[in-house]
Amino acid sequence: MRIDIVTIFPEFFSVLDVSLLGKARESGLIGLGIHDLRDFTHDRHRTVDDTPYGGGAGMVMKPEPWGEALDSILVPESVVIFPSPAGEPFTQATAQELSTEPHLIFGCGRYEGIDERVVDYTATRARVRCMSMGDYVLNGGEVAAMAMIEAIGRLIPGVIGNPQSLLEESHSDGLLEYPSYTKPAEWRGLEVPPVLLSGNHGAIAAWRREQQLERTRRIRPDLLD
């Protein structure tokens, strides 16, 4: 998979050099391009924002630099993702779906957002998804894009050493994950649930399923609707 990111803060993405995604880049499973939006401006101040038509607080990102940046990266196979608190919810199912795409572009807005015509125009050239990380407001799309890239990237075959772990984690089957324990069997007076020491694989699987259901009912009943 190829991932391109357009941002006014390219340095945010240096963390993609480390950990599993860093290894995936080294091994060629993921190709990454990070593009500074200001490189697509033509004025002395490298201006990327302006005041909103109709008034109101804050600044809006100008369409021209976005147009030039996306023109230079986009191909018809691309999926262009604009992180936005006004977008559709990004879920594990979205991550699954996007992990099979050949080319993702993340357009990271700042300020009060990007001129809406950028989204409309881009949608005439490729598939566009405006995606929200949750019902809260970040200062811009960068942190949201990073979270999405990690969620998507780890689903690409070969990125995670043991693919079985992907099948057993939270949200992979619509439920929260069961609790996990390791040695020692007793720590600060707290014991590991005895069933996990029993060696009875059927009983362990049943216990884990019950824990998933109990946790999901208690913490995220909305997932069971």
Give the residue numbers of the binding site: 109, 133-138
* Smaller CB separation from ligand ADE, 139 or 164: 139
* Smaller CB separation from ligand ADE, 82 or 178: 82
**Interaction mask 70-109, ligand ADE, x per CB under 6 A:** -------------xxx------------------------
Q: In angstroms, what is the minimal distance from the CB of 149 to ligand ADE?
A: 13
Q: In angstroms, what is the minimal distance from the CB of 214 to ligand ADE?
A: 29
Q: Where are the alpha helices (DSSP H) in 37-140?
A: 63-73, 92-98, 116-122
Rg (CA), the chain: 22
Q: How far apart (Å, rounded) are the C-alpha atoms in residues 3 and 16? A: 11
Measuring CA to CA, how many Å separate 68 from each of 92, 138, 159?
32, 25, 32
Is residue 147 within the footprint of ligand ADE (CB under 6 A)? Answer: no
Which residues of the chain form contacts with ligand ADE (CB under 6 A)?
A: 83-85, 132-134, 136-138, 140-141, 144
